[in-house]
Amino acid sequence: MRRLENAFVTLNGIVLVLGLMVMSVILGWNVLGRYLTGNSLTWADEVARYSMIWLTFLGSGLALREGAHAAITNAQDAMPGPLQHALRVLILLALLGFFAFMVWVGIDYMNRMAVQRSAALRVPMKWVYAAMPAGFALMIVHLALMAPRYLRAGLQHSEETALG
């Protein structure tokens, strides 16, 4: 299971790096063309904007895994073991519920935008808005994979505090 999780995290990171590389090349080419020839690609800004949206949502699961989202751990760390464990379970359930709700909202919003098209690329905006449910679905997977360690870390932390 651990090997599968590492492959999933690695694949998620590779997709982000490749997406950022493509976005950088397109923007660099556009800037270079603008200053050397006075012309720019009409679609480059749109690609960059939509790439950034997708990269943000696809990277949010890795940010969750690294603890990069806002969190307040002082109250949790000050609690005794069983209460801290219960709070961690509550936090996991609240996050899971929120992420699932956002997948549902994202799919609904994506479907509402199905008829609209982007200005330069004429891409259905549905695919731009699909970043939201895709990103939150990835966050659910990351949360499920890291939940056992998150719960064990709380128990280990409380045992160390009791011993120390």
Tens digit of pLDDT for each residue in 56-97? 999 999 999 888 777 767 777 788 888 888 999 999 999 999
Q: How many domains does the chain have?
A: 1
Distance CA 105, CA 118 (A): 21
**Predicted pLDDT at 154:** 65
Distance CA 59, CA 20 (A): 11
Model confidence, pTM:
0.86
Q: Report how far Cα 100 is from the mean position of its chain's Cα atoms.
A: 13
- Residues 127, 82: Cα–Cα separation, whole Å: 45
Note the pLDDT tens digit of each residue in 100-118: 999 999 999 999 998 999 9
Instruction: Give me the domain span that covers residue 15.
Output: 2-163
The pLDDT tens digits of the residues spanning 14-57 come to 999 999 999 999 999 999 999 999 898 999 999 999 999 999 99
pLDDT of 164: 41
Q: Interior CA angle at 35 toward 33 and 41, to 5°?
A: 35
What is residue 162's predicted lDDT score, i.e. its pLDDT? 39
Region at 29 (left for phi over 0; alpha for psi -120 to 50; beta for the rest): alpha
Token pair belonging to 125: 């905006």
User: How far is residue 142 from each of residues 6, 65, 146, measured CA to CA in Å?
Assistant: 11, 7, 6
Residue 144 pLDDT > 60: yes
